[in-house]
Amino acid sequence: MREASAPSLAPVDPLIRLSGVSKTFSTGTRAVAAVDLDLMPGEFLSILGPSGCGKSTLLRMIAGLGTPTGGEIQWARGHGGGSRHGTRDLGFVFQDPTLMPWANALDNVALPLILEGSAKREAQAAARDKLALVGLSGFENAYPRELSGGMKMRVSIARGLVTEPSLLLMDEPFAALDEITRHRLNHDLLNVWRDVGFTAVFVTHSVFESVFLSQRIVVMAARPGRIVSTLDVAAPYPRDEMFRTSSAYASLCRQASDQLKLAMES
């Protein structure tokens, strides 16, 4: 256990540094209050908290969807993306798959590259690769409504990765899925993460999910949304079903659960 603003894990510069980031809506609600957080390159970080604790708002601010009303979000050199139309070095996976219903899986995944001005052929080739990465080879021509909930989420993740970003932000991506599908997607997501090596920020309200996936869990409390504690998950990867049933996993879940409970009482 340590404070979020404590020195970073290793002597490397963070990919992103949040200092005193706050968001107050025009209604006067303080959604996020003074968050300090360093995102280290290549780490898998979960933001765990009850609904309404501002975790989604925080994630959207990191993505540049909505600006903080206080504090600063600094990117490491070369990943910037401050300019209004310069794209940021990140992918975003929404809570819903958020696919274009009129386009097939391939065109949905290719969209970010098309928007960045890539040629259609190249964009589709990259999209094909990413669909294979998430296990959807052969579904290039399927339309979203022909895919199951889990498959749609895979397409959404492939789209988030198609620009080869340093950072993938995920906003409770598996919350609407059944548990079996969710477990499988957690598992495959970890494989893809280890394979590709991006920095992952995963917002969730599931203790088990956050422990299974991450190296570091940031626990947030509501009213106002703030970080109350940070938990390191030292278990090595690859993590599989064995890890899910291990005593280490159980005790980590207990710890995270306690932190969450404290957060909700505070």
The residues of the shown chain that bind another protein, judged by CB under 8 A, are: 60, 63-65, 84-88, 90, 92, 94, 96, 98, 100-103, 111-112, 114-116, 129, 132-139, 142-148, 150-151, 163, 180-181, 184, 187-188, 191-192, 195-196
**Least spacing, CB of residue 238 vs another protein, in Å:** 10
Measured from the CB atom, the residue of 89 and 221 that comes closer to another protein is 89
Q: Residue 173 in contact with residue 157, Cβ under 8 Å? A: yes
Q: Minimum Å distance from CB 143 to another protein?
A: 5
The packing angle between helices 149-161 and 105-115, to 10°, is 20
Give min distance, CB of 31 to another protein, in A.
16
Three-state SS at 171: strand
Q: How far apart are the first and last CA of the chain?
A: 18
Q: In the complex with another protein, which residue's Cβ is closer, 108 or 229?
A: 108
Six-digit token pair at 85?
A: 């139309």
* CB-nearer residue toward another protein: 113 or 263: 113
Q: Which is nearer to another protein, 29 or 98 (CB)?
A: 98
Min separation Cβ 115 and another protein, Å? 4
CB of 89 to another protein, least distance (A): 11
Long-range contacts, stretch 229-237, CB < 8 angstroms, 24+ apart: 229/1, 229/259, 229/262, 229/263, 230/1, 230/2, 230/3, 230/4, 231/1, 231/255, 231/256, 231/259, 232/1, 232/2, 237/190, 237/194
